Structure 1
Amino acid sequence: MRATPVAAYGPDRGLEIVEGLTGEPALKGYHLLPSVRGDLLERLGRRDEARAEFERAASLTRNDRERMVLLERAAACGPE
């Protein structure tokens, strides 16, 4: 079976897929999951939720540069 790229269906479908992964124990504490979720939420115009996800991702990473980029993305979503 060949996987179809998520981009073919847009951010709504991508968010559905990511939501299905949030309960996976192996991904608990993995900073890229809320980062991807934040990106999809931002594309959907759900900026408050996107900001929260970027902030959550920043709190989970141990890499200073990644943390800085994620916090910049959170700030770009606008004020709380």
Structure 2
Amino acid sequence: MIELNRAMALAMAFGPAAGLELADQLMQEPALRNYHLLPSVRADLLMKLGRLGEALGEFERAAALTQNAPERAMLVERAQLCRVELADKQK
């Protein structure tokens, strides 16, 4: 969990790519593999980098992993935002 916070701090200090690099490394950690905040953080960073297709998948994964209904709704909403932005780019 500390490293996930560090990934967000790196993103704030040095840009989303720096945070994503650490978040990607954390995907190998068994303790975090099914923790909904990891794909949520990855999705946010991917979205900031304009990698909307990947962000969409991560928001959906995070929504499937969380047990918190309001949090799930927010993640589903962010996934939908990615869908809309992807569709707009394809026009």
Shorter-chain TM-score above 0.5: yes
Regions of 4+ moved over 2 Å: none
Over the residues paired in the alignment, what is the CA RMSD in angstroms? 1.5
Task: Give the structure-1-normalised TM-score.
Answer: 0.90
The Cα of 1:58 is off from its aligned counterpart by 0.2
Partner of 1:36: 41
The Cα of 1:57 is off from its aligned counterpart by 0.1
**Structure 1: gaps spanning 5 or more residues:** none
Opposite residue 19 of structure 2, the aligned amino acid is: G
Matched residue SS, 1:25: coil
**Structure 2: gaps spanning 5 or more residues:** 1-5, 87-91
Q: Please state which structure has a larger fraction of its residues in helix.
A: 2
Task: Give the structure-2-normalised TM-score.
Answer: 0.79
Q: Is 1:56–2:56 an aligned residue pair?
A: no
Opposite residue 36 of structure 1, the aligned amino acid is: V
Partner of 2:29: 24
The number of residues matched between the two structures is 77
